[in-house]
Amino acid sequence: APQATPVTYSISPTQPAGLSFNPSTGTLSGTPTNAQASTTYTITATNTAGTSSATYTLTVTAPPSLSSNSDSQTVNVNSAITTVTFTNSGGASALSISPTPSSGLTWDPVAGTLSGTPNAATSPSMTTYTVTATNALGATSTKTLNLTINKLPQTVTWIKTSATATDSHPTS
């Protein structure tokens, strides 16, 4: 009976950083450390009978990574907040916010901005908003904003009145 000959494998081009290729098994494994555009790889198996190749395409998408120009703000009701811009540096295709912004505030998921003038105080006065970036593969990143909307102080007006009484009948 013919005896099986050992098979060795090779990959071309070299696999992305963070992945390893086992030339004895033809297995590509690991976690890529950098994003990479769509790349076609050729895996070649070789033994004494010859070679055989297969190709596959690999795309490594960067996970979303959110930052913002503000983590916390405190304003009085009917005073504009400083627009908060959430910036994604990792290829997210969708931004969302939770909970729904207070009355008078506007969330723009395309620009990643929260802006406006809150027209009602919230209870409790601080609300933590969580913005989530989600990429096409479902990977997410979150960033929070603590927004405190204070009630305006009550205005109290004191009116001082004075009266003077005189006695027109002297006492004897």
pLDDT in tens, 75-107: 999 999 999 999 988 776 789 999 999 899 999
Closest to 72 in 3D by CA, of 150, 149, 147: 147
pTM of structure: 0.65
The predicted pLDDT at position 6 comes to 79
> Given this model, what pLDDT does residue 137 score?
79
* Residue linked to tokens 């207070």: 102
Question: Can you tell me the distance from the alpha carbon of 41 to that of 55, in angstroms, rounded to the nearest whole number?
Answer: 5
Tell whether the model's pLDDT for residue 120 goes beyond 60. Answer: yes
Examine the pLDDT at 40 and tell me if it is beyond 60. Answer: yes
pLDDT at 167 (0 to 100): 63
CA 101 to chain CA centroid, Å, is 16
φ/ψ (deg, to 5) at 100: -60, 135
Say whether pLDDT at 1 is over 80.
no
